[in-house]
Structure 1
Amino acid sequence: MTLPSWQDKSLGSTARGALWLVSEIGEGNIFTKSQLREAFPDVAQIDRRLRSLRDHGYRIDTSRDDPSLLQQEQRFVTQGADVWVPGKSKTPRHKNSLTATQRAQVLYADNHLCRSCGIGVGEAYEEGGLELAKLNVARRKVLDPDGNVQHQLIAECKRCGVAGGPDREVDLGALLDLVQDLAPIEQRLFAKWISSDQRTLSPIEKLWGIYRTLPDASRTAITQALNEMIGNTDQGTGK
């Protein structure tokens, strides 16, 4: 399907900005503020028009979202709705500007923790470095058991927001089925984790997590050593 020209001023600046991204920049590519303003010298607030595309599913990263970008650079990551098509430019019902109070309430409800990786605001990431976690309020798409779709607010660090993108979806009905399938003792244990909003890993779970990060040769060495230990134990017990 042939796209309209992004230079067609009758389309409006938001639609023209979207078309410029799609036809001139392309998904995954970088553009600068200077390029944008040179393309739209007749639009005084073209930066704002481009930012409004995020309300329609477009993902446009800045240096705040992607540290590899320079301050004047942005990356067109994902195309959203065809806003140049009549009826497609309506702002989604779930998208409303958050007040400072609403944002504070979401962060408080989530214990000021990223609900994707668990890091707290101001904490350093495990791999070290100078970067400290900063929390945003994101919208997570939730599919209710009755089939309805809603968008719920969640605390998420910037790094997880970049990695996960805007397409994350939670199937609440499927999760409830998994909870129902747990044995009663597992349900009680799960309830304790929920009550304390944390889970302390056992030594064997920590060891499993480390094992999964090992190269193949190292995993093989662990497997062989473990099998030998089990074999020696079985011999000692007469099994």
Structure 2
Amino acid sequence: MTLPAWNDPKSKFGTMIKGALWLVQEIGEGGTFTKERLRDAFPGVSQVDRRIRELRAYGWVIHTNTEDATLMAEDQRFVKAGVPVWDPVSRRAAASQKAASAKEAQAVLARDDYMCTVCGIGGAEPYIDDSNQTGVLSVTRRNTVLPDGRQEVLMVTECKRCRAGADGLSARADEVVAEIENLDAADRRRLARWVERGRRGSTPLERAWNAYRRLPGDARDDVRQALGA
């Protein structure tokens, strides 16, 4: 199988994937490289070192002098290639099996306001159409097509019910941009305000409900009693 060229100017791969191809095509398994050589290969790319380190999560073995005492402090050794990350099928399969760490999951939950990004339900909140079930949130990985056409596997908050009913298709940020471009000027300004605030505009009733939902259980009991009075 012919590999894509790591330095193809038409490539839409991200830096991690280009870095993997660079290791295979320029360094070779068993070969060494320095951070300076890596940065020279990817001029102007910020955090290229970090992108290379991300390959370890896909089974790539890259040693520093901590793991290999024969290396100088500035050297790294490309020991073994792992998952062929330039192949979207292999990359998605590997990423979907890689569980988020507790720290990663907490950060994603906080970013998503502790609500399912598909249906909007909060953790332990009952479903409107089935009050016997409550939302159980978890952080999952979803293949995502970015606006420039690149594909990345990104983390997102979903409830158990939405995850079970997922169609397995990629999230399409490129299609979202296309939909936004079709809005008239007034709706685009309104959407921009929602994006700036990080939430959709809401009515006073919705704001009161959301404020109530965030209260501790004992405080919610007091509110219910006040409403009954």
TM-score, structure 2 length as denominator?
Answer: 0.44
Looking at CA atoms only, which structure, 1 or 2, has the larger radius of gyration? 1
